[in-house]
Every structure is written in C-alpha cells, then in structure tokens.
Amino acid sequence: MTSAARTDEVARAEARRRVDALAKPLGALGRLEDLAVWLAGVQGTAEPRPPQDVAVVVFAGDHGVTGDRTVSAYPRQVTAAMVREFLRGGAAVNVLARTHGARIRVVDIAVDDDLADTPPDVRRHKVRRGSGAIHREDALTEAEATAALAAGRAVADEEIDVGTDLLVPGDMGIGNTTVAATVVGAVLGLDADQVVGRGTGVDDDTWRGKRDVVAAALERARPHRGDPAALLRTVGSADLAAGTGFLVRAAERGTPVLLDGVVSGACALLAERLAPGAVAWWYAGHRSTEPAHRLALEALGLPPLLDLDLRLGEASGALAALPLLRAAPLLLAGMATLESVTLPVTESV
C-alpha cells in the first residue's frame, strides 16, 4: 500500500467561490465548473491553468487469450503493426495529439514481436512477449508483475520529471478489452455477462466465446479479489500492470491524469486499491461502449466528459476531451463577475 498525495482543498474551495461569482447563474456551466475546480485542486492554485505539456503514454502488449481463442475481430499481429503506426504518426491518437498539442510516447511492455525495427526507447521497459492466457494460466510471474508495475511507475516519473502537467494513459493490444473486463469483474465481484462487451466489434459467436474466456478467468481470479497485485499476475497482463503503476505513481507525485477507456478504467480500479485516494488525481475523459468501462467509472465515482460511443482505446477518447479541460480554467480566468456586469444596471434603473 502506498500513499496518494492530497489535492489542495483550500484551492478547490477558493476556486468554487470564484466560479460562483462569475457572470452566469449558479451552476449554469455544469461540469465545466467542476472541471475548473478539480484542476484547482490538482494544480494547488485557485487560478488553475490549461494543461500545456500533455504527455500521452501508450502501453502496448499482447494477450495469451488471443492465441487460444477468438476474442477479437483482429489477429494479434495488429498490435505490433499499430505500434509501428504510432511511430509513423498515422493512428487516431497521433492525429488527435497533433490537433490538440500533446506528446505521444509508445511503450512496448509485452508486444508479441521483438519490434527490432523500432527505437530502443520503445522497448526499454519490455517485460515479456505477450502475457499469459488468463483463462487457463497466470498472465505473469510474480517477478514479471513487479517489473511491469515498476515500469509504469518509472515511465510516470520520467514524464513528470520533464515538466508534464497532465498525463494521459493510452493502450494498444488485441485482446486487452477481454483482460480489462476480467479485471473489472474480479475487483467488483461481477459476472462475465455483466462486464463483457464488443471490444473491436466482435459478432455474437465471438462475444459468447469471449464471455466464456472471461468467466473462466474470473473463476481463477476468485481467491485474489482483494489483492490487486495478485489479480494483475493471475488474470491481468503486463500492459495493465504498467498502466496501474503509472496511475499510482502519478497520484503519489501529485500529477493529474485524464483517463481514457476501459483499459484505463480497469487500471484505475486497481490503482485506487493500491493507493487509496489516488482517484482524486484523475478525471474521466470519456465513457466507451464497453460495459466494464461504465461499471469501473461508476465504482470510482468518476463521471465522464464525453459519451460518444468511442471504443478505440489508444487514449483517443481522452484526447478528444482535452479541449474541455483546457477551456474550463480559461472560463474561470476570463469571465467577468456577476457583480461587475449588473452593478451599472442597478445604478441606471
């Protein structure tokens, strides 16, 4: 158990007072007001700024379930192909990062390809080639789980040390919604039917196969429900472990995070259990179509900014929401107060 930093409640309260004094009815800017107040708390100032140095980290990994069973509309080779595409700049996350001004870093944690043609920095944190098939074997050894968690923590440290003021976790891995659904089901004590979604867009037969895989994995997870590290080892994956370590470390360091999809959500559930209170450092960028994502966000008490039927991962949903996160503090800084607007009128009436 580690400790999340505390957000600044004084700054939050002062920001709320400022929001309430703006030239608008109380609460009329809805969630944009909450967003400005949240930023005040995580930035430790009643005058929050739009996050400028935004670092997207895409943790990539393959999953043994895709070797045994059909759980995705795509073969696992797509994971490595997409890693290469992230480096070429032609994926959705690249376009959104260019559009909204964010850096992207791709971290190969467990892609089932040596990716020898990619820069060494991409592979520096690699733990293994593909995690285990969680419906019949552990995803990771204890040493691998520890290494993957540490890799995520190290990446968070590296990004925070260069001055990043907002972290955005992304994911790439054929089969990863199967693992994320399992983790969410295991943590929340739910059945496979409740957590399994369509992922990349599987048909009914594949959905049933995916559900059976998750049901078997949930059976294997049962003894470990209260132990996040054990869940990552038995029914998780190296990429989810890295994502979890990343979120824990961000909260320890007091750096805000904009969460993405169901993989983010599964990691967040585990990270909050590893470091209670960490959730205060996170905002949900969007809600995907995956049922496990909705369930994870509800359990964490995190309402999403966007709800646009996105289900791509990569950090694409979070990045699509980034302009809202930047607009909210500008409203706080740039709007007149209600008093300044109405005073002249009162005098002239």
Site for a copy of itself in 190-249 (CB under 8 A): 199-201
Near a copy of itself by CB under 8 A: residue from 4, 32, 111, 248: 32
Instruction: Rule CB under 8 A: say whether 22 interacts with a copy of itself.
Output: yes
Residue 44, sorted as left (phi over 0), alpha (psi -120 to 50) or beta, turns out to be left
| Distance separating alpha carbons of residues 120 and 207, to the nearest angstrom | 37
Q: Toward a copy of itself, which CB reaches closer, 22 or 251?
A: 22
The question of whether 9 is a catalytic residue gets the answer no
> Among residues 33, 272, 314, 347, which one is catalytic?
314
Site for a copy of itself in 138-167 (CB under 8 A): none
Answer whether 100's CB lies under 8 Å from 319's CB: yes
Residue 203, sorted as left (phi over 0), alpha (psi -120 to 50) or beta, turns out to be beta
Near a copy of itself by CB under 8 A: residue from 4, 39, 80, 266: 80
Residue 304, sorted as left (phi over 0), alpha (psi -120 to 50) or beta, turns out to be beta
Site for a copy of itself in 269-328 (CB under 8 A): 289, 305-312, 316, 320, 323-324, 326-327
Q: Toward a copy of itself, which CB reaches closer, 203 or 219?
A: 203
Burial class (CB in 10 A: 0-12, 13-18, 19+), 62: buried
Interface region with a copy of itself, contact rule CB under 8 A, candidates 30-38, 120-128, 223-231, 293-301: 30-38
Shortest Cβ 273–a copy of itself spacing (Å): 29
Which tokens belong to 43? 């930035």
Q: Which residues, listed in sequence order, are joined to residue 56 by a DSSP beta bridge? A: 104, 168
| Distance separating alpha carbons of residues 265 and 272, to the nearest angstrom | 10
Catalytic residues: 314
Give contact residues for a copy of itself (rule: CB under 8 A): 22-32, 73-74, 77-78, 80-82, 84-85, 88, 90-92, 94-96, 98-100, 199-201, 289, 305-312, 316, 320, 323-324, 326-327, 330-331, 334-336, 340-342, 344-346, 349
